[in-house]
A and B are shown apart, each in its own frame.
Chain A
Amino acid sequence: MSISLRTKVFLPLLILMALLISYLYLYWMPRSLANMERQCQESTERHLDSVVEGVIPLLLGRELDMVYENFDALLKKNSDWIGLRLTDAAGRQLYPLENIPAPAPAKKVQNLRELTMSITYLDMNLGTLTVIVDLAPHLAELKQDFNNAVSVMLFVIAVIVLSVGIVLERKVVQPVKALGHAAQELAQGKFDELQLKAGDDEVGHLVDSFNSMRAKLASSYDLLRQSEQKNRAITITANDAIIMMDDKGYVLIWNPAAEGIFGFKAGEVLGRYLHDIIMPERYRADFEKGFRCFSETGRGPAVGKTVEMTARRKDNVEFPVELSLSALQINEQWHAVGIVRDITRRKQAESRLLDSLKEKEILLQEIHHRVKNNMQVIASLLDLQLGYVGDRQPQEIFSDIKNRIKSMALVHEKLYRSNDLSKIDFRDYLGTLIDNLYRFYNISTDRVVLHLDVGDIAIGIDTAIPCGLIVNELVTNSLKYAFPGDRTGDVSVSLREIAEEGEGGRRYELTVKDNGVGIPETFVLKDMKTLGLYLVTTLVEHQLQGSIELNRMSGTDFSIRFRELKYKKRI
């Protein structure tokens, strides 16, 4: 039950007043009246004794008139004496003049008291004096005085209470109410309430202190709000999940990024046990063990570090996350704040990067291998060339060698310009290669028309180099020998993928033909005496594991079938 300050102050005063009045009316006044009555009676007795002493000489001198005068004066002066009766020794009434019946034995009639005193002198009985005293005026006067005193006291108390009330109302209750209202407003974050007026007293000092506190709170609240806004902005706009849990493991903060990453809305997880939500089942036991230590000490293997781990989405899909975990103490309870980043893409990129790196390492090894192979090929070509020098001019021999090496170099040129260093666009490669040959032998494509028919085919280096050498040798032969003089004609080079496919990869058919003078019928492909064709057959059969056919129906038509060599990893 709420009791107002006003009631708390006035209630004791009112109770005190009631107790005081009760005491005065129930105890003090009756006691005072009894005392008063006793004092009156004693006083009357003393007075009566004096009267008796005075009346003795009058009786002895028979001065009855003096008795009458004195008694009349007594009755006149003592208004409470409502009757005096003097009798002589024989019982005859001497005073008053009118005979009245003998008084009844002393008795109390309301406030009347009857006092009787014998008048004796020197053993002489002179008579009896009886007085009837009315205490009512005294008692009434006392009651009146009492009532006046109580009234004055009540008035004074009422004035004091009223004054205290007014002062209390103005100086304490109203300021405290205003203070309470302002405190409530303050509790609701309203700092722009009217400035409270402070008096020069304790309440005023309290109000001053409150005003000062409110100003400081307003300033602090403003800073806090700004900080909160910044933190909220950070939390809301962060791409990483920001999650906070208390010492029991229950979720306290779950930002929008967390919703996006884990698929749980904040309302679904706040207040729930965090690790039941995002921790894969198999890690739970380890987590529980670590978390018990954390909740007691604020320490743990992941605290203060950034670790990668596996988390679980709402759809139970696990994914890699990077967790930066920090510990903080609130109300002496350890809380954990985790910043979680979905690193699925990064992991994928890393994987790709590793793959690429590995590929490059392989390629580097392969390059070295190929350089070595190419050197060996060049050495072999030169070695072979030595056997076919004959009477040929050195320039011609070197040109042939140079073109062969260029065909090999062109493969590498196309390779390092391609996106995939393991394969080259073979149509582009052949176009460049044949164009170089046309340029080298200074043959116009108007005289010998080139028909290049190569699909969108990418061929690995292991297959491309022999193919390139083959095309180099066959097209060189066509350009050098098929169109002597100003003979015109066509050279066709095509490469197509053959539909049937067996083990070991795609199969291709390479066709190089011209409609030139043709090769004599005596020319047997297996017995050729030229290095070029020797190279072709060797490369087809030994390098490509393919087959070669020569068709001499109209010009020269070499048809080579081969299977793309499997890429051989060098590591």
Chain B
Amino acid sequence: MKRALGLGKVFLLIFCTAFQGHFPGLEPYAAYAAQKSYTIGVVPQFEQRKLHATWKPIIEDLERRTGLAFDLNSTLTIEAFEKAIERGEFDFLYMNPYHIVQVHDKQGYIPLVADKAPLRGILVVRKDSAIQSPADLNGKVVAFPSPNAIGATLLPMSDLGQLFQATVRPLYVKTHSSVYLHVAKDLAAAGGGVEKTLQEQSEELRSVLRIIYTTRSFPSHPVAAHPRVSRDVREKVRRALLDMNNTPEGRAMLQKVPVEQFISVTYDDYKVMSSWGLEKYWQPVSGD
């Protein structure tokens, strides 16, 4: 299908080039034809199959709405994704909120939209655990998804150290779900996550967990654009993403991200995190 569409586009390109100015309605296609496909990178928050199953319909809808072409990209690990961000490999991004602050000076990614609901980090223990306070975690193994996850790792680690003087042994288990399972299966004394991802877990899993701490709130994951992308294109993408809120199909697709409702955001919404002192816990990726 896509191959057929590609051939159709080539045909349209030749056709529109030959008759440019005579068919004003075909201008978006002409613009598209003039631009190569835009890469859009998605943080590997899920395993690759699930990630593609979640984002591919959104990308296709985005293409339909903007008339632009996008290539969905991701990496196997968050570390690799962070490296790619630092290299500015993606034209568009769905990324960790704190990443945009971290790479702002290097790449200057421009936030376009983010979920309306802010995020709050949490610390969970087994419901039958003796641990009642974050302070009880001192010296314990605590599971985290990855070192630089703002809500699940950086903020809880920061608060554990600064507010509760507790030093924990971090155990990085890739994803939020893995964190919750490690706690549920008693493989870790506690785990760091965010409210939103805990709510996405099964009732069975949630029923064996207990939240012992919730961090301050922060803006949700943004969709950002590299500055090399023209303003028109950025705005087209923003508009299209915002328009997805207006259709049941769009909302259903965004629910799987999970996004309750996209709103327009700016870098200013994220800039505040630079003052939270999280640099101490940030683990820059090494090598290329």
Contact = CB atoms under 8 A, between A and B. Distances in A.
Interface of A: 61-69, 88, 92-94, 97-98
Residue with the highest number of chain B CB atoms closer than 10 Å, among A64, A68, A98: A64
B249 interface: no
Given A68-B177, A88-B187, 6 more contacts: A62-B173, A62-B174, A64-B173, A65-B177, A65-B178, A66-B174
B148 interface: no
Contact of A69 (B47, B184, B185, B204): B47
A68 B176 CA distance: 13
21 contacts: A61-B174, A62-B171, A62-B173, A62-B174, A62-B182, A63-B174, A64-B173, A64-B177, A64-B178, A64-B181, A65-B175, A67-B181, A69-B47, A69-B50, A88-B187, A92-B185, A94-B185, A97-B184, A97-B185, A97-B208, A98-B204
Interface in B163-186: 171-178, 180-182, 184-186
A94 B175 CA distance: 16
Nearest to A70: B47
Contacts of A66: 47, 174-175, 178
Contacts of B50: 69
Interface residues of B, number: 20
Interface string B172-216: 111111101110111100000000000000001100100000000
A128 to B, nearest CB: 15
Given A63-B173, A64-B173, A92 B186 contact: yes
Contacts of A68: 177, 181
Contacts of A94: 185, 187
B143 to A, nearest CB: 8
A564 to B, nearest CB: 166
Contact of A62 (B172, B204, B208): B172
Nearest to B184: A97
A63 B178 contact: yes
B205 A97 contact: yes
Nearest to B173: A62
A146 to B, nearest CB: 38
B171 A93 contact: no
A477 to B, nearest CB: 183
Nearest to A94: B185
A453 B249 CA distance: 177
B54 to A, nearest CB: 13
A97 B207 CA distance: 11
Nearest to A98: B204
Contacts of A93: 185
B38 to A, nearest CB: 30
A64 B182 contact: yes
A322 to B, nearest CB: 125
A67 B173 CA distance: 12
B174 A97 contact: no
Contacts of B186: 92
A94 B50 CA distance: 22
The 10 closest A-B pairs by CB, nearest first: A65-B177, A64-B181, A65-B178, A62-B173, A64-B178, A63-B174, A65-B175, A66-B47, A63-B178, A65-B181
B204 A97 contact: yes
A171 B86 CA distance: 93
